Structure 1
Amino acid sequence: MSTATENNNQLAQADSMQDPTGTDQAAPAATSRKTREPIEHLAIVVVTYKRQELLGHLFDSYAALTCAPWRIVVVDNENAPETRELVEQTAARLDELWGATEPDAEGGRSRMVYAPQTDNLGGAGGFSAGVRRAFELGAEWFWVMDDDVLVMPEAIERLARWTDRYQVVQGSRLDYDGGPFFWQYQQFTTLGIPNPLAKADLGPTGAKRMNSLCFEGGLFSREVVRRIGFPDPRFFIYGDDACYGYLASKVTETVVVSDVILQRSRAIANWEVSGVRQLSSTSDTNRFYIMRNRGFFARYLREHGDYHRILFGVGTAATLAKELIRLAVVDRTFKTGVRQLVRGMRAAREIYRDSSWTPMPPVA
């Protein structure tokens, strides 16, 4: 049996995993959820934009958690009355279910905090604002995610197994159909691209070193934020999480683990490449930022002595080739898609040549 097949079986069975203590347990009563905090001052940070129905499903999955988070910070890039109402209703529901907590740095006791934005900051800006808000409230750990996922009931306990050893942990995920979802957790830093040869099988320990991160379930500590700063909002969308994981790997050991913590709740058209690897559909807007944000990544690589002009250029060519393949076999919007790829490459060059550019600063 191939390692990919073994990994598929491992992930597909993960939802029936035993409790990390090694014993099968039913979900604890609400009263026990009020006091159990296996990850100290854990803040969930979720970014949403015009997807109230998906957000509602995510909130329902929060209510099924067997351990309560300390805070849930909801960043609303739409600043919509419907989202505010949904958050207020869910806050009352969760506070009744779990009970209020100790005051945060601003004296609040509710577990859910609404953070509407005056402008659409994109995913990158939303996560930056959300992590900053949670940091200000006193969070010690940040568990970040989009609105189109569902959390597994035992997700917090599964992550807690690793937090005494690692400051950055990326849990595994299931796809929309319940099958395993493969994420490329290693990057070729000199090329500035994901490592296509990274093995899906995480081995007998259930963990492997990574130098990337995904803001779809990534977990990191306050100390990491102190040292590398908040996520860079200038990415707007795409690549901000991979860059943040790269920066985190420069200051601490970062790992991807086999414990399944999330399931995607939105189907996305894709082309199966091999085994669990897929090439998913994307938009022309994303195509622009995929190429444009290589300019930001190049600047960060340069800051840390990992930038090599020729090799990074090879990585850019490989990225462009991948996007052209995506256009050919998945999206089939060549006319508009190629135009956005070219625009993005030009914007990346401008970013790289910008003499006023500075990296995100550490947090005092």
Structure 2
Amino acid sequence: MTDSHDASSGAFDPASATIAVVTYNRSGLLTRLLTSISEMDPKPGHVVIVDNASSDDTGEVVESFRDRIGTTIVYRRLETNTGGSGGFSEGVRVAYELGSEWIWLMDDDVEVIGDGLAKMGRWAPRFRSIQGRRYDFDGSEFYWQYRIAERMGIPIPFAPAGFDESGYKPMNSGCFEGMFIHRDIVRQIGLPDPRFFIYWDDQLYGWLASRKTQSVIVDEFVLRRTREIKQWDMGIRHMNASSNAYRYYIMRNRAIMKKYYRALGVYQPVLFGLGTSLTFGKELIRLLFVERTVRGTSNLWRGLRDGRAISRDASFRTMAPLTESVD
């Protein structure tokens, strides 16, 4: 693992940060997020909004905030819906081209806590891949699996939630709902891979970052989720509802992860295959106990089938490191 903290040493300048938001047909939620950004202190230098070809009034909402958000808005409306993966890839690209030192990624269904950027900035001189904490829709602490079983490529189900006096814990994963990453790490690992469309993209990106620097989750609440999701309360954690699209990409995208593992020399067929089987089983449990149905299993099998085609694609290349130009 490369460790070059000197690149981000010294006092943190909020103007050096860009918030990159991906949105799709949720202008009401986007309004809440942009309102929270307008109330932040301090504010970032830029807010990049990537619109995944929304058909609602997203464009009008963005324009209504230009004169009152208190920072520069850069709006990119894509011609087609590229999924969260394509949106975040474009958001990172735009932020990087703006010269941003720090890129703070988030979906449109969160609000920023007023001093959130200041809280993240306190850790910026020490680390270059940082994840803050989130409140859930109901105000409870949002539980996130910040470590993965690397060889299996799946989250460790019961990552310890408590923090010691250091205020941080090492992680080897990532979540685009709040990832705070330095441009030097982006340069080394390249842009997020848009081919995922949805799912596994942020976990893989965070894992790639952790191979270059010490990645951490810090004991700072900086975001609040604004959308309620159906859940199964398991006591020590929750399991969220899913969708047929998610079920398909959860399985298909294991093949893209396998390509990265092979390229980096960490692929172990038995363990990675076990991770795929456990993922399949978890999605069956999600169908039965969260959504109370058995319909949807065909999407899991279809994802596995299409994943095999990706596995056989000899032309597939992982995302390349960046130069100072990403044109």
Fold conserved (TM > 0.5)? yes
What one-letter code is carried by the residue in structure 2 that aligns with 1:159? M
Residue number among 28, 44, 57 corresponding to 1:82 in the alignment: 57
What one-letter code is carried by the residue in structure 2 that aligns with 1:324? L
Hey, what's the Cα distance between the residues in 2 that align with 1:350 and 1:162? 42
Hey, what's the Cα distance between the residues in 1 that align with 2:12 and 2:58? 28
1:135 and 2:96 correspond: yes
Give the equivalent residue in structure 2 for 1:190: 151
Residue number among 34, 39, 48 corresponding to 2:14 in the alignment: 39
Displacement of 1:79: 4.4
Displacement of 1:75: 0.4
Identity in percent = 45
Residue number among 81, 85, 91 corresponding to 1:124 in the alignment: 85
Q: Given that residues 47 and 126 in structure 1 are in contact (C-alpha distance below 8 angstroms), is that contact kept between their aligned partners in structure 2? A: yes
Q: List gaps (5 residues or longer) in structure 2.
A: 1-10
Displacement of 1:243: 0.5
Residue number among 270, 274, 291 corresponding to 2:251 in the alignment: 291
Hey, what's the Cα distance between the residues in 2 that align with 1:299 and 1:40? 37
Residue aligned with 2:67, SS: helix
Residue aligned with 2:299, SS: helix
Q: Deviations over 1:256-313 (max 9, x none)?
A: 11100101000000012232x2100010110000111111111111222221001111
Hey, what's the Cα distance between the residues in 2 that align with 1:254 and 1:286? 27
1:212 and 2:173 correspond: yes
Hey, what's the Cα distance between the residues in 2 that align with 1:39 and 1:203? 27
Residue number among 285, 300, 320 corresponding to 1:361 in the alignment: 320
Displacement of 1:204: 2.1
What one-letter code is carried by the residue in structure 1 that aligns with 2:313? D
Distance 1:330 1:81, change over 3 A: closer
Give the equivalent residue in structure 2 for 1:330: 290
Q: Given that residues 129 and 214 in structure 2 are in contact (C-alpha distance below 8 angstroms), is that contact kept between their aligned partners in structure 1? A: yes
Residue aligned with 1:166, SS: coil
1:313 and 2:288 correspond: no
From the CA coordinates, give the structure whose radius of gyration is larger: 1
Q: Given that residues 15 and 43 in structure 2 are in contact (C-alpha distance below 8 angstroms), is that contact kept between their aligned partners in structure 1? A: no
Residue aligned with 2:316, SS: coil
What one-letter code is carried by the residue in structure 2 that aligns with 1:302? R
What one-letter code is carried by the residue in structure 2 that aligns with 1:329? F
Q: Given that residues 37 and 69 in structure 1 are in contact (C-alpha distance below 8 angstroms), is that contact kept between their aligned partners in structure 2? A: no
Hey, what's the Cα distance between the residues in 2 that align with 1:292 and 1:271? 25
Residue aligned with 1:331, SS: coil
Hey, what's the Cα distance between the residues in 1 that align with 2:81 and 2:293? 26
Q: Given that residues 22 and 108 in structure 2 are in contact (C-alpha distance below 8 angstroms), is that contact kept between their aligned partners in structure 1? A: yes
Displacement of 1:37: 6.7
Hey, what's the Cα distance between the residues in 1 that align with 2:231 and 2:13? 37
| Pairing of 1:1-364 with structure 2 (within 5 A) | 38-80=13-55, 82-94=57-69, 98=70, 111-275=72-236, 277-335=237-295, 337-364=296-323
What one-letter code is carried by the residue in structure 2 that aligns with 1:342? W
Scaled by the length of structure 1, the TM-score of the pair is 0.84
Residue aligned with 2:160, SS: coil
What one-letter code is carried by the residue in structure 2 that aligns with 1:284? N
What one-letter code is carried by the residue in structure 1 that aligns with 2:122? R
Moved more, 129-138 or 67-76: 129-138
Hey, what's the Cα distance between the residues in 1 that align with 2:26 and 2:310? 32
Hey, what's the Cα distance between the residues in 2 that align with 1:233 and 1:57? 26
Q: What's the RMSD between the two structures over aligned residues?
A: 1.4
Q: List gaps (5 residues or longer) in structure 1.
A: 1-35, 99-109
Displacement of 1:202: 2.4
